[in-house]
Structure 1
Amino acid sequence: MNGYFRLVNGEKMSAIRMIPPTEGGKPVDINDVVEYLTMKEYACDLPALKRAVETAEKEETEVLLGTVTRYPERECYKLTITPDKMQAHAKFYASSVGGENMTPQELVQDLLMRGIKTGIKKDEILKFFSKRQYCENILVAEGRPPVQGKDAYIEYKFNTDKKAKPTLKEDGSVDFFNLNILNHCNKGDELAILHPEVPGEPGSNIVGDKIMPAEVKKVSFDYGHNIEMSEDGRKLISLVDGHVELVDGAVFVSDELVVENVDNSTGNIDYEGNVQINGNVFTNFKVKAKGDIMVKGVVEGAHLEAGGNIIITRGMNGMGKGVLRAEGNIVAKFLENVTAEAKGYVVSESILHSRISAGGEVNVDGKRGFITGGRVCATGSIDVKTLGSEMGADTVIEVGADPAVKERIKQLQQQIAEDMKTLQMVQPILVSTKQKLAQGVRLNDEQIKYVQTLVLANEQKTKSLEESNKELQELQKQVGNPLDTVVRVHGMVYPGTRICIGDVSMVVQKTSHYCRFIRDRGDVKMVPF
C-alpha cells in the first residue's frame, strides 16, 4: 500500500499525520502534502514538513499545523481533465481522523454534477474504494475515440511498376523467356478489384461532445477499351487476349497482332495495339505499334517504333540504318550499328558501334557486357562490363543529362544562328530606309511593301531570338548540374574512351579495371569501384 497522510483535528490543535508505505508501496510526496494543505487552507512549517516526509518513509510521524480547532475533514479528491476532454483522473486524499469516507455512488454523482456525462469508469472507481490508494491518479472517466474508416482502394492484379527490370540468368545474361516487364492477360482475366470505402464511427469525449472520424476517400475505376466492369461494379475484366498496363491511373488492354515475319508477305505494320513477331524483321521494313513490340528473332536494318516497350530476343544488326524508338524501355540481346532511343531504360548484353539514347539507365553488365564504338547516352547511370576496345574504337559515354535536352540545345543553337543571320541582313536595310525617309525620300508602293515585310521579319526574329536564348539558358543549367549519376565499369575500360558527365568530360588514358567515373568539383574523375 502507498504511504499517505491525514489530518488530525484535536480540541486544541491540528496536525498532519504521515503513514509510511507497506509492501513496496510509494512513499508520501511532499508536493501532494503541500497541495492538499493549500486546498484546505492550512498554514504549515515547510522545513518541518519536509523532515516529516523523509521520516515517514520508514515510520509514522506527525507535524503540528496550528492551535486552531477545526471540524473533521471528509475524504476528498482533486479532479484533472485532459485538454482534449478525453480523460479525467481523480487523486484521492484520506479523511482526517474521525472524518467520513466517500462512497462510489457519491463520486459518480459528483462527476455527473461536474459535467462528465459519458465514459465513467465504474470498475476503476469500485477498485479504488475496495482498496484505497491515496495520492495516485485514478482514471475515473475516459472518452470513446472515433473509429477511423478505411479509404477505398484499387487492387491491381498485374505488375504496375514500369521500372521493373528484366530477369537475369545466373550467368548474367537476360532471360528473354521471363522478362517480367510485359503483363500478358487473357480474355476473362480479372484485371483489378475495387475495395470500397469503409465509413468510420463517431466517438465522444467525456463531456458528451461528438468526435467525427476523418472523411474516407472514394475511388472509381478508370479504364479504356477491351475491358468491361462486373455487374457489381467491383471488378475489371479483360475482353481480349493482350497486354494490360496502368497509364496515369487508367487501366488499358491492348490487343495483340501476331505475325511470323515482317517481310514482303506482310509489308510495313502500323497497329493500334501490341505486335508480336515470332520470327525476324527484315531490312527496310517498318513496324509501328501504339503498345509494345516483341520480336522473337532478329532485326536487320529496319525501323521499329513503339508507344510502349521494344523487346528483341535475338538482337539487332541495324547495318547502319536500323532505328529503334520506344516511349518505354528497350531490351535486346545485342545492338550493333543501331540508332536507338528509349524514354525508359536500355538493357543489352552488348552494344557495338551504335548510337544509344536512354531517358533512364543503360545496363550492359550481362554475360558479354561490352560497349565498343559509337555513342551511348543516358539521363541515369550506365553499368558496363567492358568499355572501349584494344583497337581504340571511338567510344563516347554520356550520363547526367537527358539526351533529348542535349538535342534540343543543338536545335536552339541552330535556330539562334539562323535568326541572327536574318537580323544581320534585315536591320541595316531598315536603318538605311529610315535615314532616307528622314531626308524626304519617297518610296513607291513596291518599296513600301518590301519594307513592311522586313519590319515584320525583324519583329518575328527578334522575338524568336529572345525566346530561344531564354530556353537555351535554362537547358544549359540542367546540363551543367547533372543528377547524381555515375558510369560503373565492372570489368575493364580501354584508353581512348571519352566519358562525359553533364557538361564536363575526360578521355581515359590507360587501361583500368573495376572503376567508377564520377563528377567531382567540375571534373570527371575515375575512382575505385
Structure 2
Amino acid sequence: MNGYFKLVNREGASSLRLFPPRGEGKPVDITDVLEYLTMKDYVCDLQTLKQAVGGAAKEEQEIRLGNETRLPERECYKLRVGPDKMQAFVKFYAASEGGENMTAEELINDLKLRGIKCGIRTEAIEGFFAKREYLEEILVAEGHAPVQGKHAWIEYKFNTDKKAKPTLNEDGSVDFFHLNILNHCNKGDVLAVLHPEEPGEPGEDLAGNRILPAEVRKETLKYGHNIELSEDRTVLTAQVSGHVELVEGSVFVSDELMVENVDNSTGNIDYDGNVQINGNVATNFRVTAKGDIMVKGVVEGAQLTAGGNIIIARGMNGMGRGVLKAGGNIVAKFLENVTAEADGYVASESILHSRVTAGGDVNVDGRRGFITGGRVCATGSINVKTLGSEMGADTIVEVGTDPKLKERVNQLQKQIGEDTKLLQTVQPTLISAKQKLAKGVKLSPEQIQQIQSMAALNKQKTDAIEAANEEIEELKQQMTSRSDTVVRVKGEVYPGTRICIGEVSMVVQKTTHYCRFIRERGDVKMAPF
C-alpha cells in the first residue's frame, strides 16, 4: 500500500499527518502534498515539510500547519484528462480526521457533470473504493479509438524495378544490348491483382464525440491494349505473348514495333509499346513510345520521348537541338550537344557539351569516360573517369537534389508572383468599397456585383498563394540534400569544374586524380576515392 497523508483538525490547531508505505507501496511525494495544501489553502514551512516527507518513508510523521480551527475535509480527487480526450485519470486524497469519504456513485456522477460521459471504467472505480490506494493515478475512463482501415493496393506479378544497368566488356566498352530490362509474358499470364480497400470503424472520445477513421485510398487497375480485366475488376491477364511493363501506373503488354531507320520513309513515330530502330534516327524527326526506345545506330538532332528506357547503341550528336526524355533510364554510347532527361539513371561512355538530368545516378564509364562542358545533374551520384577539360570548358556537375522538384518550385514561385500582383490591384478596390459601405454609401446593383466578383477572386488567389507556399515548403523538405550522394572521379578532374551538392558548391582549383567530392559540414569537400 502506498504512503499517504491527511489533515488533522483539532480545536485551535490543524496539522498534517503522513503515513509510511506498506509492503511494495511507494512513499509520499512532496509534490502531491504541496498540490493538496495549495488546493485547500494551507501554508506550511517548506523545510519542515521536506523533513517530514523524508521521515514518512519509514514511520508516521505529523507537522503543525496553523492555530486556526477548520472544518473537516472530505475525501477528494484531482482529475487529469489526456490531450486527445481519450483517457481520464483520477488521483485521490484521503479525508481529514472526521471527514467524509466519497462513494463510487458520487464520483461517477461527478465525472459526467465534468463532461466525461463515455468509457467510464466502473470496475476500476469500484476497485479503488474497495482498497483506497491514495496518491496513485487511476484510469477511470477511456474512449474507444477508431479502427483504421486498409488502403487498396496492387500486386504486380512482374518486376517493376527499372534498375537493370549495362555491363562493361573486357575491353572497357559498354554492352548496350544485354540489359535484361524486358519482362517477358505469355498469353494467359496474370499480370496484376487488385486487393480492394477495407474501410475502418469509427471511435468515440470521452465526451461521446464520434472519431472517424482515416479515409482509405481506393485503387483501380490501369492498363493498355492486349490485356483483359476480370469481371470483378481485380485481375489483369495478358491476351498476347510479348513483354509487360509498368509506365506511369499503367500496365502495358505489347509486341515490339521494329523499323530500319526513322527518316523520310517513315515520318515521325508515335507508338503505344516499345520501338526498336535497327538503323539511325535522322535530324528533326520525333520518336515517341509509351514503352522503351532502342536505337542500334546513331541519333542526330532528333527528339526521342519514352515512357520507359531509351537505349542508343552508337550514341547521339544532337547538334544543339537533340532531345531525349525517358520515364526510365537513358543508355547511350556517347551524348554530344544533347538535352537529356531521365527519371532513372543515365549511362554513357562520354558526355560532351550537353545538359543532362537524372532521377537516379549518372555513370560515365568505358574506354573514354569523360564529362566535358555543359551541365550534368543527378538526384543520386555521378561516377566519371575524367571531369572537365584541360582547355577549361565550363563544366558543372550537380548531385543530391531532384531537378524536377526544383523546376516545380520555380513554377510555384512564378505563380505566387503573378497572383500577388493581381491581388495588389484588387484589394485597394475592396478596401475602398468596405469604407463606403461603413459610411452608409449606397452602391448600385452593378457595383455590388462587381465587388462580389472581386471578393471571390481575392479569396481564390489568396487560397492559391497559401496552397502554393505550403507545397513549396513540402518540396523544399523533399529537396533536402541526400547524405549518400557523391561525385566520384576515377581519373582526373580539371580546374574550373564546378561541383554542386544540394545547395552548396565549389570550383576545382587544380588538377586532381582519383578522388571523390562529398558534402561535409555544409561545404563540398574533396576526399580520397
SS at match of 1:149: coil
CA distance in 2, matches of 1:153, 1:34: 56
Following superposition of structure 1 onto structure 2, how do residues 84-483 of structure 1 map, counting pairs within 5 Å? 84-97=84-97, 101-104=101-104, 107-108=107-108, 110-112=110-112, 114-157=114-157, 164=163, 166=165, 168=167, 176=176, 179=179, 181-182=181-182, 184-240=184-240, 241-247=242-248, 250-251=249-250, 253=252, 255-257=254-256, 259=258, 270=269, 272-275=271-274, 277=276, 280-281=278-279, 288-292=287-291, 295=294, 298-299=296-297, 306-308=304-306, 309-312=309-312, 315-316=313-314, 326-328=324-326, 329-332=329-332, 334-335=333-334, 341-344=339-342, 347=346, 350-351=349-350, 357-360=355-358, 363=362, 365-371=364-370, 378-380=376-378, 383-386=383-386, 398-399=395-396
Match of 1:59 in 2: 59
CA distance in 1, matches of 2:10, 2:299: 114
Contact 1:293 1:306 in 2 (8 A): no
Q: How much does 1:92 deviate? A: 1.6
Deviations 1:58-115 (A, max 9, x none): 3212234567777765544333334543222222222344666555455445544655
CA distance in 1, matches of 2:224, 2:282: 34
SS at match of 1:343: strand
Structure 2: tracts of 5 or more residues without a match: 399-480, 519-523
Deviations 1:16-67 (A, max 9, x none): 3221223453333445345445655667677655554344333212234567
TM-score (norm 1): 0.60
Larger mean Cα displacement after TM superposition, 300-309 or 147-156? 300-309
Contact 2:88 2:142 in 1 (8 A): yes
Deviations 1:354-404 (A, max 9, x none): 7755333884543534349x8665344863225699xx9x89574359xxx
CA distance in 1, matches of 2:318, 2:114: 90
CA distance in 2, matches of 1:251, 1:137: 56
Deviations 1:128-164 (A, max 9, x none): 34443212222211222222334444455556666x4
2:305 partner letter: G
2:211 partner letter: I
CA distance in 2, matches of 1:371, 1:29: 73
Specify whether residues 339 and 100 from structure 1 end up closer, same or farther in structure 2 by C-alpha distance, changes over 3 A only: closer
SS at match of 1:327: strand
Specify whether residues 58 and 166 from structure 1 end up closer, same or farther in structure 2 by C-alpha distance, changes over 3 A only: same
Deviations 1:313-336 (A, max 9, x none): xx3278999x9753214314x349
Contact 2:365 2:383 in 1 (8 A): no
SS at match of 1:128: helix
Q: How much does 1:490 deviate? A: 0.8
Deviations 1:262-307 (A, max 9, x none): 699x9789462445659x52797989452455659x5268887542
Pair member with larger Rg: 1
Contact 2:331 2:348 in 1 (8 A): no
Specify whether residues 73 and 159 from structure 1 end up closer, same or farther in structure 2 by C-alpha distance, changes over 3 A only: same
Specify whether residues 371 and 110 from structure 1 end up closer, same or farther in structure 2 by C-alpha distance, changes over 3 A only: closer
Contact 1:364 1:385 in 2 (8 A): no
CA distance in 1, matches of 2:45, 2:129: 32
CA distance in 2, matches of 1:79, 1:283: 79
Aligned residues: 426
Specify whether residues 239 and 358 from structure 1 end up closer, same or farther in structure 2 by C-alpha distance, changes over 3 A only: farther
SS at match of 2:255: strand
1:18 aligns with 2:26: no
CA distance in 2, matches of 1:517, 1:78: 61
2:246 partner letter: E
Match of 2:445 in 1: none
1:89 partner letter: F
1:233 partner letter: R
2:80 partner letter: T
Structure 1: tracts of 5 or more residues without a match: 402-482, 519-523
Q: How much does 1:117 deviate? A: 2.5
SS at match of 2:57: coil
Contact 2:168 2:366 in 1 (8 A): no
CA distance in 1, matches of 2:85, 2:376: 59
Contact 1:9 1:96 in 2 (8 A): yes
TM-score (norm 2): 0.60
Match of 1:441 in 2: none
Contact 2:299 2:317 in 1 (8 A): yes
CA distance in 2, matches of 1:498, 1:35: 70
Deviations 1:196-253 (A, max 9, x none): 3332322222232322333344444454444443322234444443443323xx5152
SS at match of 2:148: coil
Contact 1:346 1:362 in 2 (8 A): yes
SS at match of 2:256: strand
